[in-house]
Structure 1
Amino acid sequence: MAFLGAGQIYLLTRQKTHDLFLTEPTIRPMDMSNDIPKGLRLNDLGGTEIVCGRFRNHRFPRHSHDGLMLSLVDDGTQGIRYRGETHLGGRGVLIAMPPNEVHAGEPLDDNGWCYRTITIPTAFVQCFSGVRNTHFLCATVIEDDDLIDALAMLFNLFGDASLLEQEEAIMTVLGRFMAAHTNEPPPQNKTGTEARAVRVCKAFLTSQTGQNVSLANLEEVAGIDRFRLVRVFTRLVGLPPHAWHLQYRLRTAQDMLSRGHPIAEVTYSTGFADQAHLSRTFKRLTGLTPGYYRRTHLALLDI
């Protein structure tokens, strides 16, 4: 089964010269020719994430991404639970999930599913599509041969194309996707006080990555009582505060591991009780262990 660039994916390492990314990449290969799940975070492409491989019996819990996720299934069928419905994604369709939309994934049988997926950070979506508002909805399963071909070409370009060609391919994918498959979400029933409370809570939680935050802490910074706060946060975000904070801590762990930080340091910095606790939680959300995730990046970075 062919994966990125005939069985290889490449990490692009370079220096930023400006807010735009203009310098030529240094390219190092990673074998992707088998079904073993692999995850890669391209930090110098703004944290773009790629996951490839087969997931047989792993169930992804409710979570969201800080970016647009696009997937191509190469074998099997993935079930996606989203907004009260279960969608089925198999060969010949594209699976899409907008930024910050809560969803879950699961296999339909013992064979699971094998896929290639890319999550493009919100800032990159804005930069490469020209769209300022990235709060949109779309169909979860999309039939669009031209878009599927463009995404498949983008995956292949990570193999041996120049940075310029890759970025042009991202623009092509995003341009067609945003123009043909997105729509405005329905207005949310929220007050200014509620929106501010959620915004303040998110800011506070992101500043407390390694801390054990209590509802009393959130109540104090939000300025509304804890019962209302939990209801409002869950309604507007899709996850309760503790789940959103856990997800943020795991994203921080991914970032640190991708840069070669020791697992013990990551465990301490992200507030997990011990490495076993980090490992269980990390694998539940990503399907990969922290050690495996880190080793993949170390092999690429020659650290």
Structure 2
Amino acid sequence: MAHSAFRDYARYWRSPLLPGAELLTAEYHDHAFTPHWHDAYTVPVIEEGAECYRYSGAHHVAQAGSVPVINPGELHTGARAVDEGWRYRVMYVPVDYLHALANEIAGSAQPLPWFDAEVIRDRDLARRVSRAHLLMETHAASGATPDSSARTDSPDLLAAEAALIDALSTLLVRYGRTRATPLLASSHEPRVDVMKALLAADLTTPLRVADLAQAIGLSPFHASRLFTQATGLPPHAWRTQLRLQRALAPLRAGVAVADVAAAHGFTDQSHFTRHFRRMFGVPPGRWQTA
């Protein structure tokens, strides 16, 4: 029996139970995410349909009941894997929060948690992540706050927080790893770091590949190829992703979208909106009002 197609719909929201995090409830059919990264741990649960994506040099398919975790700073894409598309819930968990939870579980200081690139196919974990996300969303929609207990019809704050801790601690205990360190660091890493520093220093300053090449003593062709091999993106695309990441804080603070666009090197608001939508699935104004 054929399933009806999902629509392109996304709602970002926030919860006081997970400070500094964005949470997403969405379904997609036509939308496809261009290569991008997040500064947080991306913890999705696929509820219906299936998503395909490129991550860590491979093609992956995440079906309903799976939890395709993406590590912070890691490049990935996203698109439908089946005709109807996919519906999912996502927590963008701040690095400090998950690291602190890992320390609490172990009872001592731990390295940053890291997760293998393979899709986590664990229906019990998926149920826990979905339940925590739903309880937090219901609590947020009720208008209740951590300091208010007057509303008798609001979802139980303790239940929502307990579900969140249960879901993320289960993820850590079952699948948390330590990031593997290459035995030998690439001799090109310092050159790539120099180019990244130049690209990140002032996002409003125009740069050419020739400027990067001159800084590391290579030809423009070799500098661009080295950077793309190391990061997965050419210099201009990598800089656009960095601009988008740095734009999030002022957007959260309520700065006007046009001002954020200008301050982060975008040509104009429409240029900013076009790139923002490709990465987040919604325009920056709607993201800002989450």
TM-score category by the smaller chain?
A: 0.7 to 0.9
Matches within 5 A, 1:254-273: 254-273=248-267
2:274 paired residue among 262, 274, 280: 280
**In the alignment, does 2:122 pair up with 1:147?**
no
* 1:263 Cα deviation after fit: 1.7
Q: Give the RMSD, CA atoms, in angstroms.
A: 3.1
TM-score (normalised: structure 2): 0.76
**In the alignment, does 2:84 pair up with 1:108?**
no
Determine the C-alpha separation between the residues in 1 that align with 2:26 and 2:281.
10
Match of 2:233 in 1: 239
Determine the C-alpha separation between the residues in 2 that align with 1:116 and 1:271.
31
* 1:273 Cα deviation after fit: 1.1
Higher strand share: 1
Q: Look up the equivalent residue of 1:240 and give its one-letter code.
A: P
Match of 1:292 in 2: 286
Percent identity of the aligned residues?
Answer: 29
**In the alignment, does 2:43 pair up with 1:70?**
yes
* 1:277 Cα deviation after fit: 1.2
Deviations along 1:242-282, whole A, 9 cap, x unmatched? 22211111122233223221121012111111122112111
**Do the aligned residues in 1 keep the contact of 2:129 with 2:168 (CA within 8 Å)?**
no
Q: Look up the equivalent residue of 1:86 and give its one-letter code.
A: H
Deviations along 1:188-227, whole A, 9 cap, x unmatched? 7633x53233334333333322232222433455x34244
Q: Look up the equivalent residue of 1:248 and give its one-letter code.
A: L
* 1:153 Cα deviation after fit: 3.3
Match of 2:182 in 1: 187
**Do the aligned residues in 1 keep the contact of 2:39 with 2:245 (CA within 8 Å)?**
no
Detail structure 1 runs of 4+ shifted over 4 Å in the superposition: 41-46, 161-171
Q: Look up the equivalent residue of 1:190 and give its one-letter code.
A: A
User: Residue 41 and residue 63 in structure 1: after superposition, are their counterparts in 2 closer, same or farther (change >3 A)?
Assistant: farther
Determine the C-alpha separation between the residues in 1 that align with 2:39 and 2:64.
26
Determine the C-alpha separation between the residues in 1 that align with 2:191 and 2:18.
32
Query: Larger Cα Rg: Structure 1 or Structure 2?
Result: 2
Higher alpha-carbon deviation: 200-209 or 74-83: 200-209
TM-score (normalised: structure 1): 0.73
**In the alignment, does 2:117 pair up with 1:136?**
no
* 1:115 Cα deviation after fit: 0.9
Q: Look up the equivalent residue of 1:90 and give its one-letter code.
A: Q
Determine the C-alpha separation between the residues in 1 that align with 2:78 and 2:127.
24
Paired residue total? 261
Match of 1:199 in 2: 193
Partner of 2:59: helix, strand, or coil? strand
Determine the C-alpha separation between the residues in 2 that align with 1:133 and 1:237.
23
